Amino acid sequence: MSWSTADIPDQSGRRALVTGATSGIGYATALELLRHNADVLIAVRNPDKAARAAAELTAAAGKAPEVVELDLADLTSVQQAAEQISKTYDRLDLLINNAGVMATPYRQTVDGFELQVGTNHLGHFALTARLMPLLQEADAPRVVTVSSIMHKTVRSISRADFRAENGYRKWESYGKSKLANVLFTLELDRRARAAGSNLISAGSHPGYASTNLQAAGPALAGRRLQAQVFGAFTRLAAQSAAAGAWPSLYAATLPDVRPGSFVGPGFLDYRGAPKVVRPSHAAQDAELAKRLWDWSIEATGVEIW
């Protein structure tokens, strides 16, 4: 199937929130939504990076995004951001849970969770929960949660993984956080349909895309040479961040995307035009998804349905 950003329908009248939009896939996603006339909020942690990204997006798209300060590794920040958005706007049509960290040295979130699971899954779980009333005010609300092909490298996730109680292996933890993203996507879809909501929950993954994520983990660990090597290899082997954003944009904007869809690159889940793909067997485990949902409510103190 052939698809490009030229196939994105006009987004006039649609309000979207994109997390992690200062660079990479999030930036490319926000840019195309702006170019197609959506009203875009970018939720970002670093104010300086947010200001630069907003200026660059405005220059490139001819339309300015709104900036919301959000640290997904701090549940109080998530609550404050959601409250700010809810006070300012009467509805939210689209939430793209995009931000994430990858293969970092062991760190904890403000609330004591392992950083990758805490940021990539729990932060977005809490954000989605707190913004759900605003999403329900939209005529056709949609939540797109960005995972990774790395979700296929792990077979399960447990409550103990929230705090790395059984030890920490950075790539395994990343894979589990991305598995959690898909489990969350599909369970949100099941619960929305059970509640009679018209909300569409869809997932996506970018394949192998050139972003700052590959080098961020080594850089955080102080391994500058490794960060440089990762960055150079990624630039050579990966598709662009703009192409990596295609599955997210496809899931976010195509009118006929079915609830519970999972979208990735068409060529071996690696690169190319987006299409609906199958997540791993573990990601389709409905019982595991229910348990993860309950653990996430317990961890964050908020629930959706």
Q: Give pLDDT, residue 214.
A: 46
Q: Give pLDDT, residue 209.
A: 66
CA–CA distance, 190 with 185 (Å, rounded to integer): 9
Q: Give pLDDT, residue 236.
A: 46
Known catalytic membership, residue 89: no
CA–CA distance, 229 with 227 (Å, rounded to integer): 5
What's 240's DSSP letter?
A: P
What pLDDT digit, counting tens, does each position of 182-216 carry? 999 999 999 999 999 999 999 999 998 666 654 44
CA–CA distance, 238 with 230 (Å, rounded to integer): 11
Taking each helix axis from N to C end, the angle separating 246-253 and 24-35, rounded to the nearest 10 degrees, works out to: 40
* 3-state SS assignment for residue 146: strand
Which candidate in 89, 106, 168, 174 is catalytic? 174
Of the candidates 73, 174, 165, the residue with the CA atom closest to the CA atom of residue 118: 73
Q: Give pLDDT, residue 229.
A: 47
Contacts of 296 (CB under 8 A, 6+ apart): 121, 122, 125, 184
CA–CA distance, 109 with 130 (Å, rounded to integer): 19
Q: Give pLDDT, residue 185.
A: 98
* pTM of the model as a whole: 0.91
Positions of the chain with pLDDT lower than 70, given as ranges: 1, 209-238, 268
Which two structure tokens, joined as six digits, stand for 90? Answer: 């009467």
What pLDDT digit, counting tens, does each position of 98-136 carry? 999 999 999 999 999 999 999 999 999 999 999 999 999
Domains in the chain, CATH or no CATH each: 9-300 (3.40.50.720)
